[in-house]
Amino acid sequence: MPDHTVPQPAVEHTGNDPMKTETIIARLTHWFRQRPNSLEFWELILTDERLLFCFVGESYRSLLLRADMGERDRAAIADLPPDDIETFDERNFTVPLEAVEKLRLVTGTRLRRARLVVGWQAGDDVESDEWTLYQSRTADSQRELVTELESDPRLEDVDITVETPRFPRL
């Protein structure tokens, strides 16, 4: 007998209130942030309420201290709901969707990695800031995903752009 149930969107219940739901809009994966002595690996989860920054690993510049590039923790959070992702690591933080001002993707070339610039304004628990993240070599292009976000009505107040480098063949 065929199953005639309608598939449901990716909706997670938040907190103790079963009536309040949070929908994942996009997962921006395989990004890292350059620090003076290390590379921090981050996943960004965009929901209809907030932008979650999830720390998934760190690799130090010394060859003796190299980590697994965040792959183990990326796999661990792949199917978690937003509330569990938020508490996955103490370095994780969230930015309310209303505070997100900018999401700019500069596509990569053969010689340069893709860049994602995320900017947000100050809020109750968050200071204003802007992060530049770089995409790892093992990641898929996320150009189509960010392009789709440009037309999402929930993100109409966010400046979302996709740029191509001046010399894209390099």
Q: How far apart are CA 22 and CA 47, in angstroms?
A: 7
The pLDDT assigned to 170 comes to 52
User: Do 66 and 59 touch, CB atoms closer than 8 A?
Assistant: yes
The pLDDT assigned to 22 comes to 85
* Lowest-pLDDT choice from 8-12, 29-33, 108-112: 8-12
20: number of Cβ within 10 Å:
10
Q: How far apart are CA 104 and CA 93, in angstroms?
A: 20
User: What CATH number belongs to 11-163?
Assistant: 2.30.29.30
- Work out the angle at residue 127's Cα, subtended by the Cα atoms of residues 163 and 70, and round it to the nearest 5 degrees: 60
48: number of Cβ within 10 Å:
15
Residues of the chain with pLDDT > 90, as a percent, come to: 42
Collapsed DSSP state (helix, strand, coil) of residue 25? strand
Q: What is the pTM of this model?
A: 0.79
pLDDT tens for each residue of 118-140: 999 877 666 778 999 999 876 67
